[in-house]
Amino acid sequence: MSEGFNPRPKIAYPLALPVGIKGIDEKLEMELCEEMEVSDIETRLKKQLPENIQVTSVEPVPSHVKSTVKDVTYVVKPKNGKMPEAGKTDELLSKNVLNTLRKGKKQAFNIRPSINRITTNSQSIDLDLKMTPEGMARPDEVLLHLGLKAGIDYEISEIVRKRVNLFS
């Protein structure tokens, strides 16, 4: 528990899930007040969580280590099969600079260093994004550079974050 007048459990998500985006394989960090077997932690968590939230793995991490995000994968399922124009993905990946002006910011943010890979099939777009010292691209920013607009070509709820990798 934290210290002070209003103590709270020490629980953190290394990367918050944006509003409206679904998450699969999300990471949660908890600091325990006593040593426990991994199997005991998993059993206790499973008893307390709602049915639709499942624990897939539990790993011990030294308490002095704070996890940092390495990379993430998002899957987007656009409306009515709307996909980027032919060649648009390759064109985007060939550029060194893809500036985006974020709300409340005066300076443009280059999202290109954060984009590892973009793959498409007939149903979806996979976005592999990595954390950089400056930050990480947001799925909607990448989609906008691909010519897809939120609310027209896809809904935020059609974006699923399916993987979060942490530095170990």
CATH classification of the domain holding 156:
3.30.70
> What does the block give as tokens for 165?
């990798």
Give pLDDT, residue 82.
Answer: 85
- Residue 48 included in any domain: no
Q: What local confidence, expressed as pLDDT, does residue 66 receive?
A: 74
pTM: 0.84
The answer to whether residue 28 is domain-embedded is no
pLDDT of residue 11: 81
Q: How many domains does the chain have?
A: 1
How many Å apart are CA 163 and CA 61, to the nearest integer?
19
For residue 154, being part of any structural domain is answered with: yes
Q: What is the C-alpha to C-alpha distance for residues 130 and 43, in angstroms, rounded to an integer?
A: 32
What is the pLDDT, as a whole number, of residue 7?
Answer: 80
Residue 6 lies in a domain: no
pLDDT of residue 168: 65
Q: Are 148 and 81 in contact (CB under 8 A)?
A: no
In this prediction, residue 34 carries a pLDDT of 84
Give the contacts of 140 (CB within 8 A, at least 6 positions apart): 150, 156, 159
Please give the average pLDDT of every successive group of 10 residues along the chain, which has 168 residues. Answer: 80 86 88 87 90 85 79 92 88 94 90 96 93 94 94 90 87
Within-domain flag for 27: no
pLDDT of 54 reads: 86
Per-residue pLDDT, 163:
92
93 lies in some domain = yes
> Which domain range does residue 77 map to?
69-166
* Residue 19 domain-assigned (yes or no): no
Confidence (pLDDT) at 98: 94
Q: Where are the beta strands (DSSP E) in the chain?
A: 11-12, 22-23, 29-30, 69-76, 99-100, 109-110, 115-120, 125-130, 159-166
- The b/e string for 90-113 (b: 16+ C-beta within 10 A; e otherwise) is eebeeeeebebeeeeeeeebbbbb
**Closest among 141, 121, 139, 106 to 20, alpha carbons compared:** 139
Residue 79 resides in a domain: yes
